Amino acid sequence: MRRAVSAVPVIVAALAALLGTGCGRKAAPQPPVVRVPERTRDLAVSQVGTTAVLTWSYPSMTRSGGPLPDLESIEVWRLSLPPSQEPRGASPRMRKVRVELLLAKGRRLATLQKEDLNRATRGPKLVYHDDLAVWYRKNHSRMPLIIWYAVRSICCHGHASEMSNIVRLRPQAPPLPPTGLTASASANGITIAWQPAGTNAVIVERSADGKTWHTLTPQPVKKTPWQDVSAAQGTTWLYRLRSIHVVGGVRIVGEPSKPIKIAYPDKYPPQPPAQLICLPETRLVHLRWSAVTDAVEYRVFRKRKGEGWHHLDFHVKAHEYTDHTPPQGTLIYAVKAVDAAGNESKGVFCTTIAGQGP
């Protein structure tokens, strides 16, 4: 008797042949996507005292336009060279020449990593300071030198962006500070006056503690006096000024003047409300007005023509009020703003006729 042959090996072989031929065309293998940071294009430089200050936008995109959540570091590059050796021109070829020269002759000044990047971040910008006094001690040549700066971003396991735009600084002796500072306070703000150093404009800085200073005038001030309308009352303020001039499109900012201190007590009334209107209805009158920035409440008054004032409400928190019991006849309403120190503004007025209609 012949033994029966199992069909299992035959079926397995048939399936293997079928799978080997495939059911469709295979796609060509794709290369892995390499993420590279976008090149920085807005690097800028200024000189403040004896420090070069670089600013540029925080890198946020890849070269392909996608997000950049994994920035690893930023390199800051510097090259100093005599003006006679500086390549000129704005063509793409000259940009390539300058980048090659920077990489060949320059040096990597710093590599900003996690903590360095946190310290350098100012909102959407990065700020880096290069001490020119240290640079000058290392360059004893009497020949005037030009300094180039550039940055490039690193992400995604060491992939570097193209070099940024190259900015150019010719270090200068900073201008002298202005002199003769005076300050006076009024209800409208603090007025600063000074004697300028030559024809230089000034930058105004303010501090509450003498340690942390804030620039009040991003655009330089050319005329004295100048009024600070943003100073809060109830504080003693310090002010200082820096002279500024522009060389080759680069700001050269001098050392600060000696600070001046002024007390600004909270004794000045707020501005009165604006645009007060009376809206009469049959048995009531609505009042509306524009809010006052430093007001914490409003006081509302009413009088009938030929009579004295009646105090309706001394603690209105909103910038509207409804008089539910107006007498008939011609009525005059007044509203005053009150600040946190209890200072009361001048009143504003509107007139209406109440009690008309059914």
The 3-state DSSP class for residue 288 equals: strand
Of the residues 169, 204, 222, which one is the last residue of a structural domain?
A: 169
Indicate if 160 and 237 belong to the same structural domain. no
Residues 223, 144, single domain; the answer is no
Regarding whether 336 and 315 lie in a shared domain, the answer is: yes
pTM of the model: 0.70
H helical segments located in the chain: 8-21, 92-105, 114-120, 132-137
Q: Which of 107, 138, 169 is the last residue of a domain?
A: 169
77 inside domain: yes
The structural domain count of the chain equals 3
Tokens 């009497």 appear where?
Answer: 142
The pLDDT score that the predictor gives to residue 8 is 46
pLDDT at 142: 56
117 with 126: CB under 8 angstroms? yes
Do 163 and 52 lie in one domain? The reply is yes
Q: What pLDDT score does 176 carry?
A: 96
If asked whether residues 156 and 59 sit together in one domain, one would say yes
Could you tell me if 344 and 299 are in contact, meaning their C-beta atoms sit under 8 angstroms apart? yes
Task: Output the average pLDDT for the chain.
Answer: 88
Beta carbons within 10 angstroms of residue 313's beta carbon:
14
What is d(CA 175, CA 246) in angstroms, rounded to the nearest whole number?
10
209-243 as b/e, with b when 16 or more CB fall inside 10 Å?
eeeebeebbeebbeebebebeebebeeebbbbbbb
Instruction: Give the three-class secondary structure for 240.
Output: strand
Q: Are residues 85 and 135 in the same domain?
A: yes
Can you give the CATH number for the domain in which 315 is found? 2.60.40.10
Q: Are residues 155 and 63 in the same domain?
A: yes
The reply to whether 61 and 146 lie within a common domain is yes
Out of 147, 169, 191, a domain closes at: 169
CB 221 within 8 A of CB 201: yes
Supply the pLDDT for residue 3. 47
| 19 found inside a domain | no
Q: Supply the pLDDT for residue 88.
A: 83
Cα distance between residue 68 and residue 113, in whole Å: 15
**In this structure, are 48 and 163 located in the same domain?**
yes
| In-domain check, residue 313 | yes
The DSSP secondary structure of 157-206, one letter per residue, reads: TTEEPPP---EEE---PPPPPPEEEEEEEETTEEEEEEE-STT-EEEEEE
Q: Do 194 and 144 share a structural domain? A: no
Q: For residue 24, name the pLDDT band (cuts at 50, 70, 90).
A: low
**Is residue 38 one of the residues assigned to a domain?**
no
pLDDT digits (tens, 9 = 90+) for 52-70: 999 999 999 999 999 998 8
pLDDT beyond 50 at 5? no
The whole-angstrom separation of Cα 218 and Cα 215 is 7
Does residue 78 lie within any of the structural domains? Answer: yes
For residue 298, the enclosing domain spans 274-354
Q: Which whole number is the average pLDDT over 336-352?
A: 94
Task: Please check whether residue 7 lies inside any domain of the structure.
Answer: no
Q: Is the pLDDT of residue 248 over 90?
A: no
What is the per-residue DSSP string for 114-165?
Answer: HHHHHHHEETTEEEEEEEHHHHHHT---SS--EEEEEEEEEETTTEEPPP--
- Under the banding of pLDDT at 50, 70 and 90, the label for residue 18 is very low
* pLDDT confidence of residue 293: 85
Asked which of 22-31, 160-169, 334-343 is least confident by mean pLDDT, the reply is: 22-31
Say how many C-beta atoms besides its own lie within 10 A of residue 88's C-beta: 6
Indicate whether 240 and 199 sit together in one domain.
yes
Residue 93 shares a structural domain with residue 205: no
In a domain, 75, yes or no: yes
The region of weakest confidence among 12-21, 58-67, 163-172, 192-201 is: 12-21
Q: What are the tens digits of pLDDT across the range 120-136?
A: 999 999 999 999 988 77
